[in-house]
Amino acid sequence: MITTNVPTQLGLLLCCLLSTTLSASEDPWSEKAIKNSVNASDYQGTLERNQLLELIEAGNQLFSARFTTDDGVGRPMATQAIIPTKRKRPPRNEFSRTAGLDANACSSCHNVPIIGGAGDFSVNVFVSEGFQHSDFDTTDPQFSNERNTNHLFGSGVVELLAREMSVTLMQQRTQALADAKNQNKPVIQALNAKGVDFGSITAHPDGRIDTANISGVDNDLVIRPFSHKGVMTSLRQFTVNALNHHHGMQATERFGTRWTDTDDYDEDGIAQEISAGDVSALVAWQASLAPPLAQAPTDTRWLEAAKQGQQQFDSIGCADCHRTYLPLSDLAFSDPGPMDAAGTLRYGETPNTVYDLSLLAWAETLEKDTNGDYKIPLFGDLKRHVIADQQVAALGNELLSQRFVERNVFMTTELWGVGSTAPYGHRGDMTTLREVINAHGGDARDSRDAWKALPKDAQNNLIAWLKTLIIKL
C-alpha cells in the first residue's frame, strides 16, 4: 500500500529515480521546471501499483514545479479565458494578481497546512468570467469575484461521488421519459441521489422535460463538484483551466492543433507546453490525496466537548447539508472521466486509464456501510444552495454570476479538513469558524438561527468538534 500526503523512503527513492530519468534530455543546470513531459501512452488501462506510484510522483513534481519561461510560462497573445481566446495586443505586465499570471507553481496557493491544501487570503484568485476578452487591473468586485483557495484533499473520491450521483439522476430522467411514453401522460419524477434531494422533473409523452423544479444541480443533471460555485466537472477540467489562468501553461488537449490549428496558441515561442500525460499525472496526484478524517483529541476535555459538539451539529440541522458521509460504491477512478466535456480529453477518445484508489493506504481507513459501500465523510452534499438573504448577506457578496449560477447560490462546502484551513468564507475574509457560521443565511438560515440561540458552552462544543476535522500532517 502507498500513501501520498507525507514523504516516505519509497516515495523519495522514486522521486530521485524519476528525476534522473526526466533529466536525461536536459543539462543539469537547465532552468526548465519540466525536464521531460509525461508520455500518456506509458500509462494506459488499469494501472498496476508501481505504475500508479510513478504517475502520482510525476504529478507531485509538476504540482510543486515553479514553471519558467523556458517551459512556456506566459500567454502574451492569449487571455485567461477557459475557451481559447486571443488578445488584440500583449499585456503590459505578464504577471498580475487580477487577471493572471498570478502564481509560479500550483503549490504557491495550495499549501495550507501542507502541499495540496488551502490558501491564505494573500493568494486569493479573481474569477472574471464576464471579462474574458479584456484585461483589468482592479480588484473592484464589479470586474471579478474574489475567491479563496480550496484544499484538494479527498478530491478523487469527491469526483467519484459526483459521477455516481449524476448517473443516478440521469437514470431517473430516462425512466421518467419511458413511463410518460408508456402511460401517455405527464409523469413527475423526484430526483434523489445518495439521499440528497435535487427537486423533480416532469416528463411528457412527447419527450419534453419540464426542468423548472430541479434544485441544486444544472438542468443536464451533471453534478459539478469543484469550485465554490460547483461549476467544474472534473479534476481534469480544473487542472487544464488553472494551468492556463494562473501560469500561462497551456495544455495541448485544449490549446493545441485539434481546437486551435496551432501548437503555440499563446505565441510565446514554446510549443506543446503541457502534454496529455502531464495533465494525467497532475490529476492522478490530486485524486490520490487522502481524505481528511476526524482526529480524536488526546486532551480529554477537548474530546468530551467534541462529542457533545457533534450532537449539537446534528440537532440544529447543520447535517442536513453538511452530511456526515455519502456512500461510494467503487474507488476505480477513470481518467478521462465519463462526465468530461470538450476542452479536455473525453472518455472514449483516448485509451482509458484507471487509477485504483483502493491501492492507496488511506483506503483501508474508510469505513463501509451495510451495503458494502465506502462511507466518505466529506460533511457535504454536492448540491448548490442559496446561502444568503437580505438580513444575512455576507456570503452572497459577489456581484457577478458564474456559469449562470445565481450570485447568492454556492456549493455546500465540504467540512472535512476545516480545522486546518482557515481563513473561511468564499473570499477568505472570515478568520474564525464562529464568524462563518454566523454568516449563513438563505437555505441555512434556520440552522444559523438555532446556532445563535445555543448557550455559549454549546457553541464552544460545536467549534471544538469542527476543530477535530483536520488535514493530517
> Does 220 map to a domain?
no
Domains: count for the chain: 3
Q: What is the CATH number of the domain that holds 445?
A: 1.10.760.10
**Contact call for residues 55 and 281 (beta carbons, < 8 A):** yes
> Does 291 map to a domain?
no
Q: What is the pLDDT of residues 122-141, one digit of tens each?
A: 999 988 765 666 666 778 78
CA–CA gap between residue 191 and residue 169 (Å, rounded) = 6
CA–CA gap between residue 213 and residue 196 (Å, rounded) = 15
Q: Answer yes or no: do 245 and 383 share one domain.
A: no
Strand arrangement of the beta sheet that strand 332-335 belongs to: 45-46, 353-356, 332-335
Q: Answer yes or no: do 237 and 316 share one domain.
A: no
Q: Which of 66, 52, 67 is nearest to 11 (CA)?
A: 52
Q: For the chain, how long is the longest CA-to-CA vector?
A: 73
Q: Which residue segment(s) compose the domain that 172 sits in? A: 155-210
> Does 369 map to a domain?
no
Q: Answer yes or no: do 14 and 146 share one domain.
A: yes
Q: Answer yes or no: do 278 and 398 share one domain.
A: no
Helix (H) or strand (E) holding 196: strand 196-203
**Around Cβ 295, how many Cβ atoms within 10 Å?**
15
Residues 157, 408, 110: CA angle, nearest 5 degrees: 40
Q: Answer yes or no: do 275 and 307 share one domain.
A: no
Residues 220, 222, 223: CA angle, nearest 5 degrees: 140
CA–CA gap between residue 181 and residue 200 (Å, rounded) = 18
Q: Please give the DSSP secondary-structure letter assigned to residue 80.
A: S
Q: Answer yes or no: do 172 and 267 share one domain.
A: no
Q: What is the SS3 assignment for 222? A: coil
CA distances from 140 to 71, 264, 398, 399, 425 (A): 32, 33, 11, 10, 18
Q: What is the SS3 assignment for 409? A: strand
CA–CA gap between residue 354 and residue 69 (Å, rounded) = 33
Q: What is the pLDDT of residues 49-82, one digit of tens each?
A: 999 999 999 999 999 999 999 999 999 999 988 8
> Does 124 map to a domain?
yes
Q: Answer yes or no: do 26 and 108 share one domain.
A: yes
**Contact call for residues 280 and 353 (beta carbons, < 8 A):** yes
> Does 46 map to a domain?
yes
Q: Answer yes or no: do 395 and 418 share one domain.
A: yes
**Contact call for residues 471 and 417 (beta carbons, < 8 A):** yes
Q: Answer yes or no: do 58 and 197 share one domain.
A: no
For each of the chain's 473 residues, which pLDDT tens digit applies?
A: 444 444 333 343 344 434 433 444 678 889 999 988 999 999 999 999 999 999 999 999 999 999 999 999 999 999 988 899 999 889 888 898 888 899 999 999 999 999 999 999 999 998 876 566 666 677 878 788 899 999 999 999 999 999 999 999 999 999 999 999 999 999 999 999 999 999 999 999 999 999 999 999 999 999 999 999 999 999 999 999 999 999 999 999 999 999 999 999 999 999 999 999 999 999 999 999 999 989 999 999 999 999 999 999 999 999 999 999 999 999 999 999 999 988 999 988 888 899 999 999 999 999 999 999 999 999 999 999 999 999 999 998 788 888 889 989 999 999 999 999 999 999 999 999 999 999 999 999 999 999 999 999 999 999 999 999 999 88
**Contact call for residues 410 and 375 (beta carbons, < 8 A):** no
Q: Answer yes or no: do 51 and 17 share one domain.
A: yes
Q: Answer yes or no: do 126 and 179 share one domain.
A: no
Q: Whole-prediction pTM value?
A: 0.93
Alpha helices in 194-336 (DSSP H): 235-242, 252-255, 257-260, 276-288, 300-315
**Contact call for residues 207 and 376 (beta carbons, < 8 A):** no
